[in-house]
Structure formats: structure tokens, C-alpha cells
Amino acid sequence: MPGKKNMKKCTGREVARRSHDQVRETLAAWLREWRIEKALAIEESTVSIVLYGAGRGVERKRSEPPRPGEVRLLRPEDAFSCRRPRYVLVLESDPRVGNVRVVPFSRFSTPAMPGEHRTGHPASPLAVLCAWNVRTLPWGRVQRAWKVARWGAARHAAAQRAVAICPFPDADPPPDTAGETGPPLTHPDDPRWNYLREEAAEWDAIEQSCEAVKPAFWVMRERDKENRDAKERLAAESWPEYSPHLPKNHARKSRAKGDHC
Amino acid sequence: MTVSESSSNSSLPGAATSASSSLFAAFDEWRRRCALALCSLGASHQLKTFAWKRFDIFCRRYAPFVPAANAEAGHPLTPPPADCWHLFETRLAVDRTRAGKRYKDWLFEAARAAPGAMLPRLTGGATLLMRDVVRAWLAHEAPRPHTNSLQAPAGGGAPDEAPSLEELLPVDITPADEAAEREWERISVEEARRSWRRLSRRDRVILTARALDLSLADEPVVTAAAARKSMLYAAFHSLLARLADDLRRRYADEESAAICSLARRVLQKMECRALTWARSEKSCAILFSSSERRGLCREKRI
């Protein structure tokens, strides 16, 4: 019947139009927050606000080990963690490896690009998850962080899925996530590129500020002062003199066997 | 306008010190009592005044205005003092439990960590938090036009400098006939060949990751490219910008949307080249294995 055919066409067109409207509103909302943030930027030359310095001197009680699904607030132990609260969702944690895989939350309430997802959580600090910015932090850093919330299995699974399917910033998001993510970056002068670079650089700095995880094997050091990497040697060279640095509980008889040669 | 922690109305050093210590005591009491409503009247008044002043400063920064008569009057957008502090508490909290209000611990720990007086760092940190609260409030609750003009500059700058909202929205131009489609394909293949020669190794790794449906946040991509995530995103942005500039120069008569569509096609062609290149690169083997694992994981979860 002609009427029914027209209704089908109208429905499909209506869906496409609503989808385009949603994309436009999401982008406009994010740009609005971005413009406001730039307008409110604090300049140290004009404002006598004393910003934090990083410090770790505060004694802390032993904290709970991080578990997948927990939302944690990083302690202000570096310059960037001092500028704003940094909330992260724990994805994977393995004490044997010594690292914890986390996903940061956005400071904005609207997703910027396809790699950011609305979580559906009512709290503003946990509204948007930055799946594009997955990080690996040392176990100790995350253990010291404050436990803020714990997500249910469904929300945690949604976060893991968001990380698993995270596309490039300019790629179209999967159709079933179109309503939860931001629109792709198509213009090289899009201000979202600035946001992406700034946020990535800050989290790089947070990762670098963490103590390096020491692997559970012996550390060999050269006695001579040549500028050579102690872990490599050229094929024709003989072994350099070394003094093995053994763990304190290492048994003496293993040294006699020459295990470290 | 400056934000000073000593009382703006006090001229004696002793009075400034007294005001500072009472403000610090008010913050401390708020932290111990957990909510402003449970604090004493004096502390409550101090904190509300502090919040109102900060909120007003940010509103004036957002929308400068000239007060009509009373110079002390607040900005028209600034809420009453009680509302300012209420917004401060509610926007930053995750929930009503103690765990959900850990931002207070964050505020005080940073103030304690460094040597010297705590109050400047404490109020400085509270000001940084208030900035985020004001941003969210202005974005969602402040008066704004009911429509967003598509031609308005998206970044808020001059019209001829920043791209408009219309230019930032994704759009795809599909040629109406086969002849035009073949022409698009021919141009994109030719442009991809030209652009490929100028790509660095890092750019090629990025395109390989893109072709394999990996993310720039994945560790194998970071390892293969030997660069941090921020460098990868910066490199990808630079690649797109160079491609866009090149196409705009060569096809100056085409519409912006057409060039955008052509750029996407060229990118797809370069991805195919990147896959072929990566198969002969030992350092990119990790990308292929990661892509296989990711594909398996994606099938399990979707």
C-alpha cells in the first residue's frame, strides 16, 4: 500500500535525521565546554594562586589492592595529578606483573570523539570514559590511590568493550555505539585535536613520573665506565667484567655454579 | 583581577593573618564534618563567601560586564553564596558516601605534601576545583541561545580563523554516477602514491595500526612505533593536516566537504600500502598478532 511505503521511507529518513542532529548536538556541547574552559583558564601571572608542588612525603596506611571494576582517585604525587582530580577505572590488575591497566575519565561531561564513551553514571567526574587513553601504571601507584566506587559487572563489561573496539579519532564509531560516543575528527583544525594532544601529554607525564617497576631478576652492572649498554655486547667482544647484584636471599652455592655467566 | 587569600578588606597584617587562620579552620572543620550544613555558622559563612568570590571571578572572566551602580555587586550569572558552595560540593562528589567525597582528601593531601603554609595551596586547589565546577555549570545551566549556528566559528575565535561547526561535522559525499566514482578512485590512488613517499616510519606504523583496527592506545602500537602515546596522536594529527593542506592546494576549486571526502579515500589507499609495507617489517609483526587477538576478543564480547 502506498501509505505504508511512505511511512517506511519517512521512518528511515527520520532516523537518519535524528542521528545527524544528535551528532551535531554532541559536538556543539563539547565545543561549548571547551570554549568555556579556555575562557576560564587561570594565568599565573595575573592570579596569585599558588599551584601545588608534587610531594610524596605523607605517610599512608596500607591500602587495599586494586581490583578490576574499581574506580580510583590518584593521589597528587606529580605535577599533573595536582592540577585536577584524576579518576581512573581499573581494567586489569596482576600483582605478579606489577602493573595495573587503567582507563582515565574525561574532565568533560560530553564525549569528544569516537574513543570516548558515556558511562551513564550520574556523577559528573565519571560521566565519560576515555577508552583511547588506556594507561599502564605501577601497582603501588594505583594501590595508594583512593577507592571511590566499584562498578557492577555490566558497566565494567561495557568499559572493556569500549576499550576493545576503540577506533582511531577520525574513524566512524561502530553503529551500535553512535549515541554514546563523540563524532569523528574530520578537520585538521578541529580544537578536539588540541584536547587530545594535551590530555595524552599529561598522562604520558603521569606515567613517566611513576617509579619504574623493577623486574624480579638480577641486575648486572659493569665495573668499567665505558658508555655502553650493560645488557648488550657485540658479537666479537669478550664478556666484560661485572659484579652481579644479587638479591639478599640468594643462596651462596648458586654463585659457585656460575649461573650468572 | 587577582585572587588573594588574605581578606580584601583588611589593611593590617595581623587582621590578614587572623582571617587566613579562620579560613583554614573553616576548611578543616568542613573536612572533618563532611558537609557544610554540619559546620558552625562562622565556618559556613566563611566557606560560602569564599565559594561565591571564586564563582564570581570566573563568571566575570567568562562574560565581562560593567556593573551598573554597585561595584561590589556580583556578576548576573553568579548564583547566591549558598548555591555556589552547594554546586562545589555536589559536582565534585561521586556519591554521598565518604568514599565518594575523596576529592576532599585529594585537596588536603596536596596542600600538606609540600613545605610551607598550607592555606595558599589549599585555597589554590579549591579554586582549581571551582573552575571545573563553574565550567560545567556555565555549559549546562547558564542561559544560552536555543540554536547552535552551523556557520559560527567552532573554536570561538574570529570567523576567518577557526573552522565553523558545519566544517567539523562528519559528512560523506557520494558521487551520483559511476564515471565520477571512477574519477574519485583514480585521484585517490594517485594522491596516495604521492603522499606515501613522504611518510616517515612512524607514520607508516600508525597507518598500519589503523588498517588493522588497532588503537593508538594499544601497547603493541606504542612498541612498534617506539614513541609515547602523545607523540603518536601528534604524529597522526600532523599526517592528516599535511594531507589536507596538500589536497586543498592541489584542488583549490573543490568544496571543503569534497576535499574532506577525498582525504578519507586517500587515507584508505595509504592504509592498504601500509599493510603491504608492514608485512615485510619485522618490527611490525607485533601489530599483526595483536590484531588477531583483538579480533578474537571483539568476537567474544560483541
Q: With beta carbons under 8 A apart, name residues in chain B contacting A150.
A: none
Does A46 map to a domain? no
- CB of B121 within 8 Å of a chain A CB? The answer is yes
Please indicate, yes or no, whether residues A80 and A160 belong to a single structural domain of this protein. yes
What is the 3 state secondary structure string of A17-71? HHHHHHHHHHHHHHHHHHHHHHHCCCCCCCCCCCCCCCCCCCCCCCCCCCCCCEE
Does A4 map to a domain? no
Q: How far, CA to CA in Å, does A235 sit from each of A47, A238, A239, A260?
A: 60, 8, 10, 18
- CB of A193 within 8 Å of a chain B CB? The answer is yes
What is the arithmetic mean of pLDDT over B184-190?
Answer: 91
Please indicate, yes or no, whether residues A82 and A202 belong to a single structural domain of this protein. yes
Length of chain B: 302
Q: For residue A150, list its beta bridge partners.
A: A70
Would you call B164 helix, strand, or coil by DSSP? strand
Q: For residue A222, list its beta bridge partners.
A: A242
Neighbours of A115 (CB within 10 A): 28
Nearest-10 crossing angle of helices B285-301, B201-211: 30
Q: With beta carbons under 8 A apart, name residues in chain B contacting A151.
A: none
Domain finish residue from A182, A209, A236: A209
Total domain count, chain A? 2
Whole-number percent of chain A with pLDDT over 70: 66
Q: What does the alpha-carbon distance between residue B268 and residue B260 come to, in Å, rounded to a whole number?
A: 13
Q: With beta carbons under 8 A apart, name residues in chain B contacting A190.
A: 154, 163, 168
Please indicate, yes or no, whether residues A84 and A201 belong to a single structural domain of this protein. yes
* Residue of B129, B206, B233, B242 best to disrupt the A interface, most CBs of A under 10 A: B233
pLDDT above 60 (res A230): no
Residue of B248 and B157 predicted with greater confidence: B248
Q: What does the alpha-carbon distance between residue B35 and residue B52 come to, in Å, rounded to a whole number?
A: 17
What is the 3 state secondary structure string of chain A? CHHHHHHHHHHHHHHHHHHHHHHHHHHHHHHHHHHHHHHCCCCCCCCCCCCCCCCCCCCCCCCCCCCCCEEEECCCCCCCCCCCCCEEEEEEEECCCCEEEEEEECCCCCCCCCCEEECCCCCHHHCEEEHHHCEEEEHHHHHHCEEEEECCHHHHHHHHHHHHCCCCCCCCCCHHHCCCECCCCCCCCCHHHHHHHHHHHHHHHHHHHCCCCCCCCCEEEECCCCCCCCCCCCCCCCCCCEEEECCCCCCHHHHHCCCCC
Domain residue limits, chain B: 13-140, 168-301
What is the arithmetic mean of pLDDT over A62-78?
Answer: 90
Q: With beta carbons under 8 A apart, name residues in chain B contacting A25.
A: 148
Asked if A42 contacts B97 with a C-beta cutoff of 8 angstroms, the reply is: no
What is the arithmetic mean of pLDDT over A19-38?
Answer: 88
Residue of B192 and B145 predicted with greater confidence: B192
Query: DSSP for B208-267?
Result: HHHHTT--TTSHHHHHHHTS-HHHHHHHHHHHHHHHHHHHHHHTTTS-HHHHHHHHHHHH
pLDDT above 90 (res B148): no
Q: Report CA torsion sign: B259, B261, B262, B263.
A: positive
Of A28, A134, A193, the CB nearest to B217: A134
**pLDDT score for A233:** 47
Burial class (CB in 10 A: 0-12, 13-18, 19+), B98: exposed
Please indicate, yes or no, whether residues A202 and A240 belong to a single structural domain of this protein. no
Model confidence at A174, pLDDT cuts 50, 70, 90, reads confident
Please indicate, yes or no, whether residues A227 and A114 belong to a single structural domain of this protein. no
Q: With beta carbons under 8 A apart, name residues in chain A contacting B138.
A: 36
**Nearest to B63, CA basis, from A236, A40, A131:** A40
Contact B229 A197 (CB under 8 A): no
pLDDT digits (tens, 9 = 90+) for B30-87: 999 888 889 999 999 999 999 999 999 999 888 877 766 666 678 888 899 999 999 9
Please indicate, yes or no, whether residues A130 and A258 belong to a single structural domain of this protein. no
For A43, name the nearest residue in chain B, comparing CA atoms only.
B2
Whole-number percent of chain A with pLDDT over 90: 45
Residue type, B216: L
**pLDDT score for B112:** 81
Here the ipTM equals 0.83
Does A189 map to a domain? yes
Those of residues 153-192 in B touching chain A at CB distance below 8 A are 154-156, 162-163, 165, 167-171
Instruction: Tell me the average pLDDT of chain B.
Output: 83
Asked if B267 contacts B243 with a C-beta cutoff of 8 angstroms, the reply is: yes
Does A80 map to a domain? yes
Domain finish residue from A165, A183, A209: A209
For residue A197, the domain's CATH number is 2.30.30.110
Domain of A224, in residue numbers? 217-261
What is the arithmetic mean of pLDDT over B260-268?
Answer: 91
**pLDDT score for B5:** 40
Does A48 map to a domain? no
